[in-house]
Amino acid sequence: MHRHQNIRDNLISKYSSLVDDEKKFANFINLPLKQSFRVNTLKEEKEIVLDKLKEYDPKIKTTEWNDNAHISELDNLGSSLEHFVGHIYIQELTSMIPPLVVKDLMKNISIIDCCAAPGSKTTQMAAMMENKGHIIANDARHVRLKSLRGNLDRLGVTNTSVTLRDFKSFPNTKADLYFVDAPCSSEGTIRKKNSVARNWREKDYIRFNKLQKGLLGKACEMAPSGSTVVYSTCTFSPDENEKVVSDILNKHDMKMKKINIKNLKSEPGITKWNNETYNSEVEKCMRVWPHHNDTDAFFIARMEKC
Amino acid sequence: MLKPLLKEKKHLIQDYCIERFGMDSEIWNNYKWYSGSKNKIYIANTLDIERIVPESKGICIFRLDKSPKPTTNFLQLFGKYVSKNFLEINNEDTIKYCKGEDLILENSNSIIPGFILITNKNRALGCGHWNGKLLKNQLPKSKFCKINFL
């Protein structure tokens, strides 16, 4: 417990210069998160499911920035019949953001989700596309495919193929949209997961930065002209966020696209950290801090291949 | 590895669904059919990927051993199209069903023995096998769970 608090304190002091309100940031990072979920519209209408769920928890709220992101006072909606039959998916609010930043594209398109397990964003995109188009849900680890497949089955996703590959050696495949929700130090989920505090190591930044650049670089390399690449992580660390995007912009023919989600408070990407200056275009990235919307932390970049 | 399903097998399953569950054959219009290992049948509306063999495509809907056996995934997704051989169970039995227990039921005269859809308040729960006396649970073990809210 002592170590967990130390790590929280370290994170607060480390990133205090980046946030707009240090006190609020410190306060929120120590608060637990409520359970959040979305309705799986592939199987049932949102209003019908919400009406039923409100019988268990009349205090269920919908966020102002996503009409299918809901918060419950209960912490065990996973044991509801709605979860069993695939009418809901329990998902962190911030994890629902990446598909929303490409809402304009979500029609009959092809998508490669490079690091898909356990399938939160894959199933969300499948629902947004009404099971049309085509998604390749890839993951590098066999052990993670079980949860991915289980979620695709439970939610009734039929437009998805599951592949097992290290994405860095994935055969060149054309798609309209590449999703790189990269493995990261997960600092931003510290409100929910004690394991983050337990497993946190300073040297992870270097390891993850290398891995993230490899994954995003591969997606940018195989993306055809005009296609979109979305990069996201759930960490505060600029080394895993802006630095990765900046290096990619300097090497690949990509242009940044501005992101805006109505009613979601966020901040632009930072351009300086630890005596390093990044490509100024990274300002177009989106940073979500825990105290802004009472969520985890998240980072997203949307790019287009020139 | 998934292979395109033979036409005869596809028609066998479609005919079974029409006869057993009163389903409309048009619900299959947008899907490709595949066969996988252990006589499993999959449907998907995906494209074929070049140069990579996927681990799976779409969802597994049937097992085709001696006779067709619908999966719980199939009945949960297409349950709304079932017009016969479905059985509504009460909350107490729903909790037992989700735990993986078999059920002894009364008032099931209209049900012809065989695979059936189990429902609770219009929610398609999954597959069961009715022999006229006992409802044999057909949930896969991976789906067994304790339900606290229903």
Residue A164: φ, ψ to 5°: -120, 100
ipTM: 0.95
Q: Are residues B60 and B92 in the same domain?
A: no
> Total domain count for chain B?
2
* Per-residue DSSP letter, A169: G
**Which residues on chain B are in Cβ contact (under 8 Å) with A157?**
58-59
**Which residues on chain B are in Cβ contact (under 8 Å) with A173?**
49-52
Q: Which of B72, B103, B120 is the last residue of a domain?
A: B72
B37-74 burial code (b ≥16 CB/10 A, e <16)? eeebbbbbbbeebeebebbbbbbbbbebeeebbbbbbb
- CA–CA separation, A182 and A197 (whole Å): 19
**Contact assignment for A81 to B150 by CB distance below 8 Å:** yes
Rounded mean pLDDT of A24-41? Answer: 94
3-state secondary structure (DSSP) of residue A231: strand
Q: How confident is the model at residue A55 (pLDDT cuts 50, 70, 90)?
A: very high
B80 is a domain residue: no
Q: Are residues B90 and B121 in the same domain?
A: yes
B52 is a domain residue: yes
Task: Break chain A into its structural domains and give their ranges.
Answer: 93-305
End-to-end CA distance of chain B: 38
Average pLDDT, 10 consecutive residues per value, chain B (150 residues)? 91 95 90 93 84 90 93 96 94 97 82 95 95 93 95
Q: How confident is the model at residue A3 (pLDDT cuts 50, 70, 90)?
A: low
* Residue closest to B138 by CA, chosen among B94, B102, B104: B102
Global pTM value: 0.95
Work out the percent of chain A whose per-residue pLDDT is above 70.
96
**Contact assignment for B57 to A160 by CB distance below 8 Å:** yes
- Note every long-range contact of B26-32, with CB atoms under 8 Å and residues 24 or more positions apart, other chains counting: B27/B78, B27/B81, B31/A158, B31/B58, B32/B4, B32/B58
Q: Are residues B43 and B100 in the same domain?
A: no
- Check whether A250 has a pLDDT greater than 60: yes
Work out the percent of chain A whose per-residue pLDDT is above 90.
85
Cβ atoms of A173 and A136 within 8 Å: the answer is: yes
- CA–CA separation, A242 and A254 (whole Å): 14
Whether chain B has a CB inside 8 Å of the CB on A99: the answer is no
Q: What is the pLDDT of residues A111-129, one digit of tens each?
A: 999 999 999 999 999 999 9
CA atoms within 13 A on the CB side of A66: 27
**Which residues on chain B are in Cβ contact (under 8 Å) with A50?**
none
Which residue has 């495509």 as its token pair?
A: B57
**Contact assignment for B46 to A154 by CB distance below 8 Å:** no
Q: What is the pLDDT of residues A169-188, one digit of tens each?
A: 999 999 999 999 999 998 88
B116 is a domain residue: yes
Q: Cα torsion at B36, A156, B90, B103 (round to 10°)?
A: 10
Q: Are residues B68 and B7 in the same domain?
A: yes
Q: Which helix (DSSP H) or strand (DSSP E) does residue A139 occupy?
A: strand A134-139
Give the pLDDT confidence score for residue A125 in this predicted structure: 97
Give the pLDDT confidence score for residue A304 in this predicted structure: 98
Q: How high is the mean pLDDT of chain B? A: 92
Give the pLDDT confidence score for residue A1 in this predicted structure: 52
CATH for A93-305? 3.40.50.150
Q: Are residues B104 and B53 in the same domain?
A: no
End-to-end CA distance of chain A: 49
Interface probe for A, chosen from B1, B28, B56, B62 (most Cβ of A below 10 Å), is B56
Q: Is A51 known as a binding-site position?
A: no
Q: How confident is the model at residue A190 (pLDDT cuts 50, 70, 90)?
A: confident
Whether chain B has a CB inside 8 Å of the CB on A58: the answer is no
Q: How confident is the model at residue A203 (pLDDT cuts 50, 70, 90)?
A: confident
Rounded mean pLDDT of A49-67? Answer: 97
**Contact assignment for A160 to B73 by CB distance below 8 Å:** no
Q: Which helix (DSSP H) or strand (DSSP E) does residue A286 occupy?
A: strand A286-288
Q: C-alpha angle with apex A282: A278 to A287, nearest 5 degrees? A: 115
Q: Is A118 known as a binding-site position?
A: yes
* Cβ-proximal residues to A30 (8 Å cutoff; 6+ apart), any chain: A8, A191
Give the pLDDT confidence score for residue B107 in this predicted structure: 64
* Residue closest to A162 by CA, chosen among B138, B22, B57: B57
3-state secondary structure (DSSP) of residue A68: coil
Structural domain boundaries enclosing B43: 3-72
Nearest residue in A to B146, CA atom: A79
CA R_g for chain B: 16
Q: What is the pLDDT of residues A137-178, one digit of tens each?
A: 999 999 999 999 999 999 999 999 999 999 999 999 999 999
- Give yes or no: A234 in active site: yes
- CA–CA separation, B105 and B112 (whole Å): 14
**Contact assignment for A84 to B58 by CB distance below 8 Å:** no
Q: Is-cis flag, bond preceding A118, omega within 30?
A: yes
B77 is a domain residue: no
Q: How high is the mean pLDDT of chain A? A: 93
**Contact assignment for A171 to B123 by CB distance below 8 Å:** no
- CA–CA separation, B130 and B104 (whole Å): 10
Give the pLDDT confidence score for residue A230 in this predicted structure: 98
Q: Which of B72, B106, B131 is the last residue of a domain?
A: B72
Cβ atoms of B46 and A160 within 8 Å: the answer is: yes
Q: C-alpha angle with apex A12: A10 to A14, nearest 5 degrees? A: 65
- CA–CA separation, A84 and A49 (whole Å): 13
Q: Helix axis angle, A22-29 relative to A2-15, nearest 10°?
A: 150
- Check whether A10 has a pLDDT greater than 90: no
B29 is a domain residue: yes
Q: Are residues B20 and B61 in the same domain?
A: yes
With 0-12 / 13-18 / 19 or more C-beta atoms within 10 angstroms meaning exposed / middle / buried, residue A103 is exposed
Q: Is A139 known as a binding-site position?
A: yes
Q: What is the pLDDT of residues A66-88, one digit of tens each?
A: 999 999 999 999 999 999 999 99
B48 is a domain residue: yes
CA atoms within 13 A on the CB side of A41: 14
Which residue has 């049932």 as its token pair?
A: A44
**Which residues on chain B are in Cβ contact (under 8 Å) with A136?**
49, 54
Question: In CATH, what number is assigned to the domain containing residue B123?
Answer: 2.30.130.60
